[in-house]
Amino acid sequence: MNEDTFITIDNKDIPIEREQNLLELIRKAGVDLPTFCYHSELSVYGACRLCMVDVEGMGLVPACSTPPSPNMKVKTNTEEIRKMRKIIVELLLANHSQNCPTCQKSATCQLQALARRLGITKIRFKNQSRDLPIDESSPSLVRDPNKCVLCGDCVRICSEVQTVGAIDFAYRGAQTVVIPSFGKDLDKVECVNCGQCARICPTGALTPKSEVDDVWRAIHNPDKVVIAQIAPAVRVAIGEIFGLEPGKITTGQIAAALRAIGFSKVFDTSFTADLTVIEESNEFIRRIQNKENIPQFTSCCPAWVKFIEQYYPEFVHNLSTCRSPQQMFGALAKEILSVQLGVKIEDIVVVSIMPCTAKKFEARRPEFSRDGIRDVDYVLTTQELGRMIEETGLHFNELGPESFNLPFGFKTGAGVIFGNSGGVSEAVLRYVTEKLTGERRENYEFKGVRGDNGIREIKFSLAGREFSMAIVSGLGNARKVLEDIKSGNGQYDFIEVMACPGGCIGGAGQPVYTDISIHQKRTKGLYENDRMLELHKSQDNPYISELYNSFLGDVGSPKAHELLHTHYKSRKRITDEDMYLSYSDKAEGLEINVCFGTGCFIKGSQKILRGVLDYISRNGLKNRVNVSASFCFEACDRGPVIRVGDRVIEQCTIEKATEAIEKEVEVYV
């Protein structure tokens, strides 16, 4: 044994391999060292100090930020360390909301788990928690600052992994809080509703927003027909809530549970995932043939769609016009079932069971409602469905499996693998390769698109043409790919993007996990489910063919466009009042407003604002104009944009702005 490659942890020699810090080595040694702020997918923060260890010659050091060196002698459980950990947790509890029994995250709260583990039965410090307002403005998330332990996990995943930065630390000392930009509500800032902050939050400070009570009310209303659709990723995760192995397929038990709860019919979102493949693939073929809006981006993930609307509106037309499978199902179900069941459309309540918090936001987009009636009424996460099952008193593991209702319950494996990163791309390849060549393929798997990397690229030849695809998960990776395209360093024909790392199986609505192996087991479960099904290609789904023949008409028909497609546009990053930079003494002074949205800012709106203010100062106009900056005029592709009086100037320059001011200002003399 070469001792130069080992360290000693609690009198046990542990080899140093590729570990970056002592914490990784200690966990390899089988010691579950407690920590709040350490995650392998995030940068090292070292704030909670729970992972302090005693290193001979160094004293107490944080294991998460201390690199290993040969011959180190480490103790993880001395009397001093144990006392220190207890004090830290007690202080956290003293500054924390005490309503733990009613907390949504009670069963998975790391703070509660640590208190039990350390044997804390009383808190010796005075409760210092502040009664701060709870932010319930978002359709997807609830932010309770009274339960925040300032670990910074949410801040780092939002900025480092998703590159959104919707929340951050503010103020200092005892007044420190984690809040959205400018101290505004979460729905007023650039949050994309992906919920990864809630997934990684160790307490109940950030949680998915529950719609359970709304669904119960609908179920108990005798005038309503309540139907459910279940997303692919739910079937490989909900069993974890009831002690089953991650990745275990529980489709039959889910269907049985939903009927026992009171749902009239139970369907599978994988059916409309098959439908999405048909529509999206044909859209892709048309774009390739017409050489327009290439690359084509997938549009199944609402967090990704909102991200591109906010940050890269110049690429909005590259998004597939296809609705997500969730929204396709809602539109079809209400249109068809209202006739079949003889009920009014408004009396059909569509409830989605999703792994995703952004789906709650998507269901409320104005594009997905007709005459004030939403296509999807409520969205429950996997966690929420688990709570409803528990509330009903059902023993999930003992339920006999039941099947979905037809026709919307029949699916192929192509629809099921949508829940994995790369699943949409593989499903499209299963269709396009046969469509373009006219030949049937016996081998349906395209393993080249599968994998764990956040950015994967594949090239292939088909029908005499070279194609390039990118599979992306995590919005930070999406940003890298978009910037490569803008700089000319990336050229693709088709790009799949999922906001959550690993795809929907890692969505924020799934059961809480910290072990990455759970992530991998869920992924494996969906691929195994695909193999167990009789059909693996969307074009082979007989009920999809019947839907086109009897109701939709041809692929891309007017009816298909009405129910299955939509459009997207540039979106304000931050909803806010204007920021005033110069005031007129006169109430009727000339109003000048400069757009400071991302698109305009990049194109030089800051320079124009500075030029306008200089012009006003030089010409003695300070008392005759009001100058303000707003966050977005929603004309990002035509920026910079400025409004002078009632005149909007697109692709503005300093010269155009000053010329307009000169003409308009005389009106306000």
My answer on whether omega of the bond before 640 falls inside 30° of 0, hence cis, is: yes
CA distance 568 to 565: 10
Q: In what order do the strands lie in the sheet with 6-9?
A: 12-15, 6-9, 73-75, 52-55, 59-62
Is 655 marked active-site? no
Whether the Cβ atoms of residue 353 and residue 234 lie closer than 8 Å to each other: yes
208 φ, ψ to 5°?
-60, 145
**Would strands 378-381 and 348-354 be described as parallel, antiparallel, or unpaired?**
parallel
Is 211 marked active-site? no
Of the residues 190, 240, 280, 426, which is catalytic? Answer: 280
CA distance 146 to 32: 28
H, E, C per residue of 276-327? HHHHHHHHHHHHHHHCCCCCEECCCCHHHHHHHHHHCHHHHHHECCECCHHH
CA distance 641 to 629: 11
The distance of Cα 306 from the centroid of its chain, to the nearest Å, equals 10
Which residues, in sequence order, are CB contacts of 652 under 8 Å at separation 6+?
608, 639, 640, 641, 642
Q: Classify 477 as helix, strand or coil.
A: helix
* H helix and E strand count, the chain: 21, 24
Of the residues 300, 500, 636, 652, which is catalytic? Answer: 300
Is 562 marked active-site? no
Of the residues 41, 80, 245, 367, which is catalytic? Answer: 367
Is 300 marked active-site? yes
Whether the Cβ atoms of residue 376 and residue 330 lie closer than 8 Å to each other: yes
CA distance 468 to 456: 11
Is 426 marked active-site? no
Of the residues 190, 283, 426, 496, which is catalytic? Answer: 283
The distance of Cα 655 from the centroid of its chain, to the nearest Å, equals 42
93 φ, ψ to 5°?
-65, -35
Which residues, in sequence order, are CB contacts of 284 under 8 Å at separation 6+?
296, 320, 428, 432, 493, 494
CB under 8 Å, gap of 24 or more: what pairs does 542-549 form? 542/410, 543/271, 543/406, 543/407, 543/408, 543/410, 544/271, 544/274, 544/275, 544/278, 546/407, 547/275, 547/332, 547/407
- What secondary structure letter does DSSP report for 414? H
Helix residue spans in 239-268 (DSSP H): 251-261
How many residues belong to the chain? Answer: 669
Is 280 marked active-site? yes
Q: What angle do CA 455, 195, 504 make, to 5 degrees?
A: 50
Tell me the C-alpha to C-alpha distance, in Å, between residue 585 and each of 445, 582, 668, 669. 71, 10, 12, 12
Whether the Cβ atoms of residue 300 and residue 418 lie closer than 8 Å to each other: yes
Of the residues 320, 324, 605, 630, which is catalytic? Answer: 320
Tokens at residue 174, please? 């005892």
Of the residues 37, 148, 158, 504, which is catalytic? Answer: 504
H, E, C per residue of 388-408? HHHHHCCCHHHCCCCCCCCCC
Enumerate the active-site residues.
280, 283, 300, 320, 359, 362, 367, 504
